[in-house]
Chains A and B, each alone.
Chain A
Amino acid sequence: MNSSLLFSIATLSYLFAMVLYIGYLAFRKKGIGTTATIVTVFGFLVQTAALLLRWRESYQMDIGRVPLSNLYESLVFFTWSTVMIYLIVEFKYKTKAFGAFVMPVAFLALAFINVAGISSDITPLVPALKSNWLFYHVLISFLGYAAFGVAFAISMVYLLMDMEDRGSATNLYVGLAVIVVLASIGYYMASLGGQMKTAFWMGIGVLILAWFVYLIVAGARNKPRVFLFWSFCVTLAVSLLVAMGIDFVYLVSFQHLAEGESFKKHIFEGTFLNASPAISIISWLVALAFFSFVWSKGMGLKKLLKPYIPAQNLLDDVTYRMIAIGWPLLTAGIITGAVWANSAWGTYWSWDPKETWSLITWFIYAIYLHSRYVRGWKGTQMAVISSVGFLAVIFTYLGVNLVLSGLHSYGGMN
């Protein structure tokens, strides 16, 4: 009986719970719902035991430390906190409707760990991490992320329920065309070297930001555009996870990875960034097909879910509460990080990518909290801001480590 085994049991429990919650929404039978909750609680208790056991195991290896200091452990803790917060919300609001949206997040996060082959070895801490602040900084930050994760799931539900009409197919075609054009330009510019690559990413950043700002400002009047955004978020989440799963199979199982080489260097080479143009194009086509599928079936999903989802303003209220919990936690997380940096390096803020992105996330949720005072900004815009905020959380947590470089390489993969 070791912690890895317990974590696997917890992963499977969440998978089972996810299926049960979806089944509960589809078949509307109380028994299924109750079973779903029981399985979730079981998985949560097993995962708690696993975390404690891992902590103990580290002491047995003479490198006693809290199980919170590398990517594997932090992902595990993130799922644990998300499930805990979800269970609290379920009991407090007496509704099982969100389970079908939150459990997939928990399951996929845990599955990502195993599938991406992130090392589960307990390795000792490098000197810079040997500080009490580490424990508090990571703990608080992840609780904040978990709250934001639940808010994101509820916002996705809200946006779907908020949609009246998916709008004309022109929206979809424009969306697909934009992705195809940008992807092609991206590949071409990347092949031209460093400067073109930076220019491309800057350009993409500008476009994406312009799109987000447009949605936030004009979203309520343009529901079909928001529906497109919703389809995009769902597609993005699923594609990223499936692509990383394929990476694991392609790179690790078929041993295309040289001895000791970092997984991070080859991310998405199984699919979108494959050396073979054919596979790359096929990956994109599959992603685009899935995007179209989500877009066309989305409203049908809404009809299916409608009897089970609580009222709009309750969704909005719970989202606000989650962010009202998450934002102070994120604030405290950033602050503990700054105090730690000051005691280690003499600077409480050095604008490195990870710090800056956590601040960007903080700004976005601050926008959410203030937007209720802006006239005309109601539920739709708030749900969009909440979703954009979580995309920033994902980038802060994973994107910075996997894509950008800096001081914060402890959560990286090599």
Chain B
Amino acid sequence: MIREDLLENKKGFIEIIAEKFWKFFSSVKLAVVLLIILATVSIIGTIIQQNESPDKYLREYSQSTVQLFEFLGFFDMYHTWWFVLLLFLFTANLTVCSLDRFPHTWAIITAPLKPIDDNMLKALPFRKEITLQGDVDKAMDRSASALKNHGYSYIESKDAGGVQLLTQKGVYSRFGVYITHVSILLIFIGALIGAFFGFKGFLNLSEGEASKVVYLRNEPMWDQIMDSLGIAKSPVIHDSQEGVPSLPLGYYVRCDNFDVDYYVAPSGMPTGMPSEYHSTLSIFNLDGQKILDKRIRVNGPLTYHDVTFYQASYGTVPDARGKVILNIHKKSDTQSPGETVYVELGGSVFVPSIDRTVKVLGFAPFGMRNPSTGEVQLFKSDNEEYINPAVELEIYNGKKALYQTTILKIDSGRPNMPEDYVISYGGYWGTRFTGLQVTKDPGVWVVYTGFIMLCFGPLIAFFGSHKKLWVRIQSRGSETIVLVAGSANRNRIGFEKVFNKVVAEISG
């Protein structure tokens, strides 16, 4: 074919190749083949664990297998060049299929309603001939009201033989397929934008620590390319001591506090089940001025200047000295917030508002108070989690020790507060760090647009139907012949019901 075309000088070589390329990619069969390949290949990445450390793989598989899998890209399968190529082919196929068929669909959508002759009417899938007594006008009235009753607005067309009423509904349902395909394309484009211009990073901050950089798992591809081409210097810093690339934020982010809340059983006793992980983060500009703060939790991140901070994990800072946060207020004074003090373990602080010195004797991560006896028992928690911290206090007036008491984070009994003030637990600060996932994704709104379209496109494609009706009215002596005919491109059974109803209403 190519040789013949070339010989006859009908088409240029590139044109022929382009045509073949187009024909290949506009095939639905190719779509099915690509879907089968994508489905099959995706399974591999679910059987072989992705992105694990090399020694974990060496424990599971032999050296040669690990090398083979690495070569094939099985350890980060969904980002290998051949998988991405498959996705590209899929998207190209989808795009070409849509572009190829759209002009024809557009022609159908924009085609004006035209009257058709009797032969064509008789060839339509739904047709019925009705004989009515009376004249054409009566038949017209009946037909018009029947159509109106079912929501069809019509146009009239008069010709030599009689009159035709033409109507259609649901033309725009033909867009459904294209909306669906475009939405997938948008998702793909959005993902690419995110890969090129976005990043995924992490940041561990101890309570009280601030950072003006974030550590990256992957450098934005755009910056990498621009840098290697010498066009623009990448903002990513590579020679940090940590060995992980970092990106300056342009502001400081600080962890003010991290804590875990645990579920409390109906009895009032705290359980070991976490109810919430939360951190309070503050943003400062580079001069040290505070801009804002927010308490973040899992499912409730902080977004600032297109960068989002997610609560991902936490841990204990080794050898850290914690401070107990105490809140003190007078028993009579329930309105004011009272005074808050920070005390190191073993340290003491003078509290002016009550004229007493409070000394912290000890801290335990998990205590429970017997509601009737008031006695506090200490428990071991998994990994020393602060399930219900207990703090032992000694209160002094000057140098004289007055009394000791123990307070808990959740107190189901009454702690011993013999004087006219209450000391309550405010927190244990400084021994933990919060693990934040930090991401920037400029493409996410493109992806979300694709998502929304992908929710509606298929519904329009499957449940919308382009329906057409023709009513041909001709007089034959004292009678009038009404020929009702129609077609629908989808949901024919439903259309048949409507068709029969219209016929019944015209017949009277």
Which residues of A line the B interface, CB within 8 A? 61-63, 123-124, 126-128, 130-131, 194-195, 198, 201-202, 205, 209, 213, 317, 324, 327-328, 331-332, 335, 338-340, 342-349, 351, 353, 356-357, 359-360, 363-364, 366-367, 370-371, 373-374, 400, 404-405
Contacts and interface: CB of A to CB of B under 8 A. Distances in A.
Contact of B299 (A131, A205, A324, A370): A131
Given A131-B299, A205-B43, A343-B299, 7 more contacts: A124-B263, A344-B298, A351-B50, A351-B77, A364-B39, A370-B28, A405-B49
Contacts of B371: none
Contacts of A371: 32
A130 B263 contact: no
Main secondary structure of the interface of B (DSSP, over half): helix
B31 interface: yes
Interface in B6-58: 28-29, 31-32, 35-36, 38-40, 42-50
B306 interface: no
A48 to B, nearest CB: 26
A231 B312 CA distance: 47
Contacts of B273: 123-124, 126
B408 interface: no
Contacts of A339: 448, 451
Interface stretch (B60-68, B358-366, B376-384, B476-484): B60-68
B91 to A, nearest CB: 14
A367 B47 contact: no
B266 A328 contact: no
Given A124-B273, A374-B32, A209 B40 contact: yes
The 9 A-B residue pairs with the shortest CB-CB distance, nearest first, are A346-B439, A194-B60, A363-B39, A353-B46, A324-B462, A195-B61, A131-B299, A328-B458, A127-B298
Nearest to B29: A374
Given A328-B459, A351-B50, A359 B36 contact: no
Contacts of A209: 40, 43
Nearest to A359: B42
B299 A342 contact: no
B505 interface: no
Residues of A contacting B: mostly:
helix
Given A335-B451, A346-B301, A356 B36 contact: no
Contacts of B437: 345-346
Contacts of A400: 46
Interface stretch (B251-259, B274-282, B342-350): B274-282
A346 B60 contact: no
15 contacts: A127-B275, A130-B298, A130-B299, A335-B451, A339-B448, A344-B299, A344-B310, A346-B301, A347-B439, A363-B36, A364-B35, A371-B32, A373-B28, A374-B29, A374-B32
A342 B462 contact: no
Contacts of B276: 127, 130
A339 B444 CA distance: 10
A367 B451 CA distance: 20
Interface of B: 28-29, 31-32, 35-36, 38-40, 42-50, 59-62, 65, 77-78, 191, 200, 263, 266, 273-277, 297-299, 301, 308, 310, 312, 437-439, 441, 444, 447-448, 451, 454-455, 458-459, 462-463, 493
Given A331-B455, A339-B451, A348-B444, A127 B297 contact: yes
B45 A346 contact: no
A213 B50 contact: no
A51 to B, nearest CB: 23
Given A198-B61, A328-B455, A370-B28, A345 B310 contact: yes
Nearest to A375: B29
A242 B186 CA distance: 46
A360 B29 contact: no
Contacts of B493: 317
Contacts of B36: 213, 363, 367
B35 A366 contact: yes
Contact of B31 (A63, A195, A327, A370): A370
Nearest to B307: A346
Given A127-B275, A339-B448, A195 B65 contact: yes
Contacts of B59: 194
Nearest to B463: A324
A406 to B, nearest CB: 8
Contact of B78 (A327, A340, A351): A351
Contacts of A344: 298-299, 310
A198 B48 contact: yes
A346 B200 contact: yes
Contacts of B38: 363
Contacts of B463: 324
A338 B451 CA distance: 9
A327 B48 CA distance: 28
A352 to B, nearest CB: 8
B275 A124 contact: yes
Contacts of B200: 346-347
Nearest to B450: A335
A75 B50 CA distance: 29
A328 B459 CA distance: 7
Nearest to A362: B39
A346 B312 CA distance: 10
Contacts of B297: 127
B32 A367 contact: yes
Contacts of B62: 195
A198 B28 contact: no
B42 A198 contact: no
A374 B455 contact: no
Contacts of A367: 32, 35-36, 39
Contact of A127 (B49, B61, B277, B439): B277
A198 B60 contact: yes
Contacts of B39: 360, 363-364, 367
Nearest to B451: A335
Contacts of A338: 451
A346 B435 CA distance: 13
B146 to A, nearest CB: 25
